Chains A and B, each alone.
Chain A
Amino acid sequence: MWRRCLLSGMAVWLAATTPALAFIAYVSNEKSNTVSVIDTDKWTVIATIKVGQRPRGIEFTRNGKFVLVAVGDDDKIEVIDTATRQVVDSLPSGPDPELFTQDAAGKTLYVANENDNTVTIIDLENRVRLGDIQVGVEPEGMAISPDGKILINTSETTNMAHFIDTATRQIVANVLVDARPRFAEFKRDNSELWVSSEIGGTVSIIDPVKRTITGKIEFNIPGLRREAIQPVGIAITRDGKTGFIALGPANRVAVVDATTHAVTKYLLVGQRVWHMAFTPDEKYLLVTNGVSNDVSVIDVSAQKVIKTIQVGELPWGITFAQP
């Protein structure tokens, strides 16, 4: 099935693509302690970078010069220079950093530290720690509102999305969601906040102004038991019309009409799909498949998986440089 998808996808891809802009993706490999660099022109890994232990959360800095990767078992965030593709520095996070987000200016980094119920604030320019915010048990998902005023942190055992005022660094609201919230994503116009609950098996749609849940996306895949559907990574197109949700061990990405919140399609990808990132032109969506050690490439407008790229062991996070 998978192979067939891939082959027919390849044909579409070969026919449809003309030499386009090449983009560079960085993928963290949780088990092999490496970062794979993917060139989207060739759709292959062009470099592999050795990093610290258990790399997971990964993001480009706003200026595109560095890639930050949380190496949880080393209790820090490493800084990769994209020119030399080498680790050149590290940032002082708290213990076991996993996911993080930065403000629009790229000056402040907010890190979820799973081990001590805190979010750490780091000054990116001076690379120093500015302080901590106490949140719920096992902080994980991080997102910043489009206007930069609100930071969202999700806590996995407390089962909440915490709304943090970035000016005062105080929690201003808490929204209870389903079990084990792992990821948070805003629509660009700040009209909705989506939070995935891995064990609860749902994605909560939250009104960022009223700070209440206005709806829930549920998943129903024939032949698959409910426990296997575990939503994690989320990506929403810039126009706010289409959402993609990684469903973990269900080995599928759900395509969601982001206006009606109805699931329109399930795309079969690799095993235990974690996180995802669009190419900057939004033509493709790349998703990491934790257990099958590869990255699936989804053609966004065709809503088809067109290719798979072998990376390191247990790929987890993925990020693109913004042009």
Chain B
Amino acid sequence: MIRWLVGVVGLGVVASHAFAADPIDIRVGYLGQVGIKSKLSLVEQPSENDGIAGARLAIEDNNTTGKFLNQRFFLEELRLKDGEDVAKAARALADRNGFIITDLPADTLLKVADALRDRKTVLLNAGVIDDRLREQDCRANVIHVAPTRSMLADALAQYLVWKQWKRWLLVVGSHDADKLYAEALRRAATRFGAKIVGERIFEDTGGARRTDSGVTLIQRQMPVFTQAAPAYDVLVAADESEVFASYLPYRTWDPRPIAGSAGLVPTSWDAAQDQWGAIQIQNRFIKSNSRRMTARDMQAWTAARMIGEAISRTNSGDPKAVFDFLKGPDFSVAAFKGQRLTLRDWNLQLRQPILLVDGRMVVSVSPQDGFLHQTSELDTLGVDRPETKCKLN
């Protein structure tokens, strides 16, 4: 039925001139949505190929390795339109691809996962950070490469606590995602010993993000909005919806640093990251895309590299064999974060250090020194095994 699933099992040691068999062809789908979210800062406006550009680079890297192992990787892109039948589209993509990297909202991803439940298709979530997908709504056929909201919040909290900025003024947007982020930040404050001394909600009253005289108005609004706050060390903003956070730095009533959705931001990747050999992938990415690499690009790169890494180790294109290896104790992947990344076996979330960036530089990398854990210090970030609500299968 699916010819390319028939793999050649070997020893992981291959002489390049000794190929007798047909090459192993590995087909990877990329499932995203049409349309891009608008950002407050023009500099941060995502490009059309945000995410998939990273997957393409990893496929290229996999093919360079594949040359020596008689393996070939292919990538097929599919963008869902508004109102399209998600399950049908996912099944069609899965007919041709054993692995699918997704960049979809939580509910859409769940529909895809459930539509493919009876297949061998391996899904790799490279986009959405909702904790519930790794907790009560976890699925046995989805690996999560993107970090969770709670991992991001914990990474930020560890640094702020290390810095002794323990009194937080929390400002939350009025959209659902903002509230979820605020919830993760409250949890992080409690876990690591920070105190939320005040909370404010910034209502989204609509309006355009680009206007010709925007700055004048913002400069009058933001000081007033942050006036008469209790004594605080840092303002932490939860604004995933890109409504107000980027307006806060330098405009608060009290002179205070900003963190969260603006100022010091926790993220899986940044164009400024140059440690641990990262300069090599940054250069490679810029060369092929004429732009810098974003977190979404890196998440998709890592997802496609995980597939490549597992296939080079198993020498099999069978999604089931590859998935078993990814879930097993021998899997780890190198992704320019200074240490190996592995999967949490209880919910298939990729463990990873989180960068704290200010838009120009990497300020720090969490987990911070001194936050200890019996298994892996990376498990001080996010929901840990004893707290999980996930039951795979």
Contact = CB atoms under 8 A, between A and B. Distances in A.
A159 B65 contact: yes
6 contacts: A117-B64, A160-B65, A172-B15, A174-B14, A198-B334, A227-B340
A40 interface: no
Contacts of A160: 65, 68
A227 B12 contact: no
B65 A136 contact: yes
B5 to A, nearest CB: 22
Given A158-B61, A174-B14, 8 more contacts: A115-B283, A157-B65, A158-B65, A159-B309, A159-B312, A172-B17, A198-B334, A227-B340
Give the 5 A-B residue pairs with the shortest CB-CB distance, closest first: A227-B339, A199-B334, A158-B65, A174-B68, A179-B334
A80 B357 CA distance: 39
Contact of A171 (B12, B68, B312, B333): B68
Given A160-B65, A176-B13, A211-B15, A114 B280 contact: yes
Nearest to B375: A225
A158 B340 contact: no
B284 interface: yes
A156 to B, nearest CB: 7
A52 interface: no
A212 interface: yes
Nearest to B15: A173
B340 A96 contact: no
B313 to A, nearest CB: 7
Interface in A199-250: 199-201, 211-213, 225, 227-228, 230, 249
A157 B68 CA distance: 13
A144 B284 CA distance: 28
A138 interface: yes
Contacts of A155: 65
Interface residues of B, number: 29
B141 interface: no
Nearest to A115: B283
A187 interface: no
A47 interface: no
Interface in B367-393: 376-378
A115 B13 contact: no
A209 to B, nearest CB: 13
A175 interface: yes
B227 interface: no
Contacts, number: 84
Contacts of A211: 13, 15
Contacts of B284: 115
Interface string B272-309: 00000100100110000000000000000000010001
B164 interface: no
Contacts of A227: 339-340, 376-378
Given A96-B280, A114-B280, A156-B277, A137 B13 contact: no
A275 interface: no
Interface in B1-54: 11-17
B280 A136 contact: no
A180 interface: yes
Interface of B: 11-17, 61, 64-65, 68-69, 277, 280, 283-284, 305, 309, 312-313, 332-334, 338-340, 376-378
Contact of B334 (A117, A136, A180): A180
Contacts of A212: 11, 13
A136 B339 contact: no
Interface string A149-164: 0000001111110100
Nearest to B340: A199
A225 B376 contact: yes
B332 A200 contact: yes
Contacts of B61: 137, 157-158
A176 B280 contact: no
Given A117-B64, A162-B68, A200-B340, A174 B15 contact: yes
A230 B339 CA distance: 8
Contacts of A213: 13
Contacts of B13: 174-176, 211-213
Contacts of B378: 227
Contact of B65 (A115, A137, A201): A137
A137 B60 CA distance: 10
B280 A115 contact: yes
B17 A179 contact: no
Contacts of B334: 156-157, 179-180, 198-199
Contacts of B12: 176
A137 B63 CA distance: 10
Interface string A173-200: 1111001100000000000000000111
Interface string A104-119: 0000000000110100
A176 B284 CA distance: 23
A179 B312 contact: no
B73 to A, nearest CB: 13
B16 A174 contact: yes
Contacts of A201: 340
A212 B68 CA distance: 15
Contact of A179 (B68, B332, B376): B332
Nearest to A117: B64
A249 B339 CA distance: 10
A138 B15 contact: no
